[in-house]
Amino acid sequence: MEKQRLPYATTSLILGIISIVTCICYGIIGLPLGIVAYTLGRKALKIYHEAPEQFQKEGNAAAGKILGAIGIVVNLIYLILVIWVIYQIGWEAMQDPELMRERIDEMRLLHR
C-alpha cells in the first residue's frame, strides 16, 4: 500500500516561507501567515505521529512549523520596531520626508 501525503504539511511550508518574505510589510501580513503556518505544521506533525506508517515523511510539516515560528518572531520584531519608529518620529513625519529628516536630525542631536 502506498503511503499518503501528509495533510497540511505543504501548506504549512509554503505559508512559513511567505511569512518570512512578507515581514517587510510592517509585520501585518507575515505575522498571521506565520501563526497559521506554525499551527498547520503542528497539526500535521500530530497527525503523522498518530500513524506514521500511513504517511510519507514529516519533513515538510516540521520545516513549515519551524519557518512559521521564525516568521512569527521576525514579524513581531519588525512590527515592534515600526511602532517604536512611529512613536519616536510621529505619524505625520512618516508621511512627510522633510519633516522626517528634521525629526531624525533632532534625535541625532539629542544622542550626541
Distance CA 41, CA 16 (A): 9
pLDDT in tens, 58-97: 899 999 999 999 999 999 999 999 899 899 888 888 889 9
Amino acid (one-letter) located at 99 = L
Taking the C-alpha atoms of residue 2 and residue 56, their distance in angstroms, rounded to an integer, is 9
pLDDT at residue 94, as a whole number: 84
Backbone angles phi, psi at 57, to 5 degrees: -55, 155
Q: What is the mean pLDDT of residues 8-26?
A: 93
| pLDDT of 112 higher than 80 | no
Instruction: Return the number of other C-beta atoms located less than 10 Å from residue 74's C-beta.
Output: 19
pTM of the model: 0.84
**Mean pLDDT calculated for residue range 44-67:** 94
